[in-house]
Amino acid sequence: MATRHSPDRLPWPPLPMKATSGQLPTGDDWVFEPKWDGHRALVRTGATPTVASSTGRDRTGAWPWLAEALAGRCPPGVVLDAEVIALDDDGRHRFSLVGDAAAPHALVVFDVLATGDEVVTAEPWRDRRRRLEALVEPGPQLVVTSVTDDGSALWAVTAEQRYEGVVAKRADSAYLPGRRSPSWVKSKHRATQEFVVGGWLEGTGRRADGLGSLLLGVHDDEGVLRYAGSAGSGLTDRSRAEWQALLEPLAASEAPFAPPPRVDRRRVRWARPELVAQVAFAEWTDDGRLRHPVVEGRRHDVDPTAVQREPAPADPTSPSS
């Protein structure tokens, strides 16, 4: 049942509900959506939509095109949970292009939290989905995510089309703001996750005067930041300069990792662990290091204190029950 909308019940910005990582579940209680590889966005509609990241940071100025994308396609006063994506020349969405002014962007909507004066988070997913379809009219830059009850088929399609993975949701699940719930399960096709950036190594050769690679880490169960390795692959000259400009104001005299990693002291520059990068990689080594990491971009929508090591990508041949 919907509840009256009040700041006490649904403050702005609300924190999004998050999925746990695991294998695709099976059973009639589950529905399945593509996992979009973009930036999470909480949107409050109106003449000028208000946008927040999943960490509560205001992102309204970052996506000025949203006003036109939503105009006439959703009533004012609706709070949506969505993802901002960017498309490459082949029409595939790519995380690394999010924020690139030259790339076309779109808003993919997958849930509704409030409509006018009602909070609907307590309603089951199936009822919120009906509301969503009635409220949002898709357009050139506005998409309502697809959904199916055939998880295996969606897994195969998303793998072929190079999506990040699949999200399974219990059809009777309420929306739990700010919580990571087993009622939503994300399964990825490839090893990729967020890492805290705790410094950088200066480059060598033609990059000797700038940033060569990022120093990455994840928190353990006690909240200690553990070193996971360095990554320079995937960085362009432009992105290296951008990362360096962001990291230099965060310079620190000591390593934020425990224990401090053994790296070249002549080249290392430590930084306060306040930035987050998305990184793809082959696998974890036995000593907790990344093999063949590739930096895909910066995450504006992730709290660095919440970054932990995620399970390996799910094996679709061995689904959980």
β 180-188/18-21 pair status: parallel
Compute the C-alpha angle 236/193/98, nearest 5°: 50
Cβ pair 20, 182 in contact under 8 A = yes
Cα separation, 187 vs 5, whole angstroms: 33
**Catalytic site positions:** 35
For residue 135, what are its two tokens? 């409220």
Burial status of residue 209 (CB atoms within 10 A of its CB: 0-12, 13-18, 19 or more): exposed
For residue 145, what are its two tokens? 């995510």
Residue 291: alpha-carbon gap to chain centroid: 22
Residue 71: alpha-carbon gap to chain centroid: 25
Question: Which residues, other chains included, contact 149 with Cβ-Cβ below 8 Å and sequence gap of 6+?
Answer: 28, 30, 31, 32
Cα separation, 17 vs 174, whole angstroms: 10
Cα separation, 35 vs 270, whole angstroms: 34
Say how many C-beta atoms besides its own lie within 10 A of residue 160's C-beta: 9
Cα separation, 320 vs 249, whole angstroms: 46
**E strand or H helix at 128:** helix 125-135
Whether the bond into 13 is cis, omega within 30 of 0:
yes
